[in-house]
Protein backbone atom coordinates (compact mmCIF):
# COMPACT_ATOMS: atom_id res chain seq x y z
CA UNK A 1 0.00 0.00 0.00
CA UNK A 2 1.20 3.49 -0.82
CA UNK A 3 1.08 4.96 2.70
CA UNK A 4 1.63 8.53 1.59
CA UNK A 5 -1.31 8.38 -0.81
CA UNK A 6 -3.39 6.53 1.81
CA UNK A 7 -2.76 9.23 4.44
CA UNK A 8 -3.46 11.98 1.91
CA UNK A 9 -6.73 10.36 0.83
CA UNK A 10 -7.81 9.74 4.42
CA UNK A 11 -7.14 13.36 5.39
CA UNK A 12 -9.00 14.68 2.33
CA UNK A 13 -11.99 12.46 3.13
CA UNK A 14 -11.91 13.59 6.78
CA UNK A 15 -11.86 17.30 5.95
CA UNK A 16 -14.50 17.08 3.21
CA UNK A 17 -16.87 14.87 5.22
CA UNK A 18 -16.57 16.96 8.36
CA UNK A 19 -16.93 20.22 6.44
CA UNK A 20 -20.00 19.08 4.51
CA UNK A 21 -21.59 17.46 7.56
CA UNK A 22 -21.05 20.62 9.60
CA UNK A 23 -22.66 22.77 6.92
CA UNK A 24 -25.59 20.41 6.37
CA UNK A 25 -26.28 19.86 10.06
CA UNK A 26 -25.86 23.45 11.24
CA UNK A 27 -27.43 25.25 8.29
CA UNK A 28 -29.81 22.93 6.45
CA UNK A 29 -30.94 20.67 9.31
CA UNK A 30 -30.74 23.22 12.12
CA UNK A 31 -34.51 23.50 12.62
CA UNK A 32 -34.87 19.73 12.52
CA UNK A 33 -32.31 19.32 15.30
CA UNK A 34 -33.95 22.09 17.33
CA UNK A 35 -37.25 20.19 17.15
CA UNK A 36 -35.47 17.09 18.48
CA UNK A 37 -33.63 18.88 21.29
CA UNK A 38 -35.51 16.87 23.95
CA UNK A 39 -33.84 13.71 22.60
CA UNK A 40 -30.31 15.12 22.74
CA UNK A 41 -27.99 14.88 25.71
CA UNK A 42 -28.16 18.03 27.82
CA UNK A 43 -24.34 18.05 27.85
CA UNK A 44 -23.94 17.28 24.13
CA UNK A 45 -21.21 19.88 23.72
CA UNK A 46 -18.99 17.99 26.15
CA UNK A 47 -18.88 15.04 23.75
CA UNK A 48 -18.26 16.96 20.51
CA UNK A 49 -14.60 15.87 20.57
CA UNK A 50 -15.82 12.32 20.07
CA UNK A 51 -17.37 13.34 16.74
CA UNK A 52 -13.87 14.19 15.52
CA UNK A 53 -12.54 10.80 16.65
CA UNK A 54 -15.43 9.01 14.92
CA UNK A 55 -14.87 11.13 11.79
CA UNK A 56 -11.20 10.17 11.79
CA UNK A 57 -12.04 6.48 12.09
CA UNK A 58 -14.68 6.67 9.36
CA UNK A 59 -12.43 8.58 6.95
CA UNK A 60 -9.51 6.19 7.26
CA UNK A 61 -11.67 3.03 7.35
CA UNK A 62 -13.51 4.26 4.24
CA UNK A 63 -10.18 4.86 2.49
CA UNK A 64 -8.69 1.56 3.64
CA UNK A 65 -11.64 -0.52 2.47
CA UNK A 66 -11.63 1.25 -0.90
CA UNK A 67 -7.88 0.77 -1.37
CA UNK A 68 -7.96 -2.92 -0.45
CA UNK A 69 -10.84 -3.65 -2.83
CA UNK A 70 -9.83 -1.25 -5.58
CA UNK A 71 -10.09 -2.58 -9.10
CA UNK A 72 -8.60 0.49 -10.79
CA UNK A 73 -11.76 1.38 -12.71
CA UNK A 74 -11.69 5.10 -11.94
CA UNK A 75 -14.34 7.50 -10.73
CA UNK A 76 -17.31 5.20 -11.40
CA UNK A 77 -15.74 2.70 -9.02
CA UNK A 78 -15.77 5.45 -6.38
CA UNK A 79 -19.44 6.17 -7.09
CA UNK A 80 -20.27 2.47 -6.76
CA UNK A 81 -18.26 2.23 -3.53
CA UNK A 82 -20.03 5.26 -2.06
CA UNK A 83 -23.43 3.72 -2.81
CA UNK A 84 -22.43 0.37 -1.31
CA UNK A 85 -21.17 1.99 1.90
CA UNK A 86 -24.36 4.08 2.06
CA UNK A 87 -26.52 0.95 1.72
CA UNK A 88 -24.39 -1.02 4.16
CA UNK A 89 -23.94 1.63 6.88
CA UNK A 90 -26.09 4.75 6.54
CA UNK A 91 -29.46 3.26 5.65
CA UNK A 92 -29.47 0.51 8.33
CA UNK A 93 -28.17 2.93 10.98
CA UNK A 94 -30.90 5.45 10.21
CA UNK A 95 -33.63 2.83 10.22
CA UNK A 96 -32.28 1.41 13.47
CA UNK A 97 -32.39 4.85 15.06
CA UNK A 98 -35.96 5.30 13.84
CA UNK A 99 -37.01 1.96 15.32
CA UNK A 100 -35.48 2.76 18.73
CA UNK A 101 -36.10 6.48 19.18
CA UNK A 102 -39.07 8.76 18.49
CA UNK A 103 -37.43 10.40 15.48
CA UNK A 104 -39.65 11.44 12.58
CA UNK A 105 -39.18 9.31 9.47
CA UNK A 106 -38.63 12.55 7.54
CA UNK A 107 -35.49 13.13 9.62
CA UNK A 108 -34.29 9.64 8.77
CA UNK A 109 -34.86 10.47 5.09
CA UNK A 110 -32.82 13.66 5.43
CA UNK A 111 -30.02 11.74 7.16
CA UNK A 112 -30.14 9.15 4.38
CA UNK A 113 -29.83 11.84 1.70
CA UNK A 114 -26.99 13.51 3.60
CA UNK A 115 -25.26 10.13 3.96
CA UNK A 116 -25.68 9.41 0.26
CA UNK A 117 -24.14 12.77 -0.62
CA UNK A 118 -21.23 12.31 1.81
CA UNK A 119 -20.52 8.76 0.64
CA UNK A 120 -20.76 9.60 -3.06
CA UNK A 121 -18.41 12.56 -2.70
CA UNK A 122 -16.04 10.51 -0.53
CA UNK A 123 -16.04 7.66 -3.04
CA UNK A 124 -15.37 10.00 -5.94
CA UNK A 125 -12.53 11.72 -4.07
CA UNK A 126 -10.80 8.53 -2.97
CA UNK A 127 -11.15 7.10 -6.48
CA UNK A 128 -9.67 10.29 -7.94
CA UNK A 129 -6.74 10.16 -5.53
CA UNK A 130 -6.22 6.48 -6.38
CA UNK A 131 -6.92 6.87 -10.08
CA UNK A 132 -5.30 4.29 -12.35
CA UNK A 133 -1.94 5.27 -13.74
CA UNK A 134 -2.04 6.44 -17.34
CA UNK A 135 -0.17 4.60 -20.08
CA UNK A 136 3.59 4.75 -19.75
CA UNK A 137 5.24 7.38 -21.93
CA UNK A 138 7.91 6.09 -24.25
Tell me how many degrees the CA angle 112-31-35 measures, rounded to the nearest 5: 90
Q: Is the pLDDT of residue 133 over 80?
A: no
Identify the burial level of 39 via C-beta atoms within 10 angstroms of its C-beta, where 0-12 means exposed, 13-18 middle and 19 or more buried.
exposed
* pLDDT tens-digit series, residues 23-75: 999 999 999 999 998 888 888 789 889 999 999 999 999 999 999 999 988 99
Tell me the pTM: 0.89
Confidence grade of residue 19 (pLDDT, cut at 50, 70, 90): very high
Between the CA atoms of 21, 2, 131 and 91, what dihedral angle is there, to the nearest 10 degrees?
Answer: -40
Least Cα distance to 114 among 9, 32, 25 occurs for 25
- Give pLDDT tens digits for 88-103: 999 999 999 999 999 9
Q: What are the structural domain ranges in the chain?
A: 3-129
Amino acid sequence: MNWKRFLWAGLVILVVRKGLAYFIETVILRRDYESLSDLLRPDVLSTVWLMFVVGLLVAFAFTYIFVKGREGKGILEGVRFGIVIWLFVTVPTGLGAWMMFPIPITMIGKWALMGLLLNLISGILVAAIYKPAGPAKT
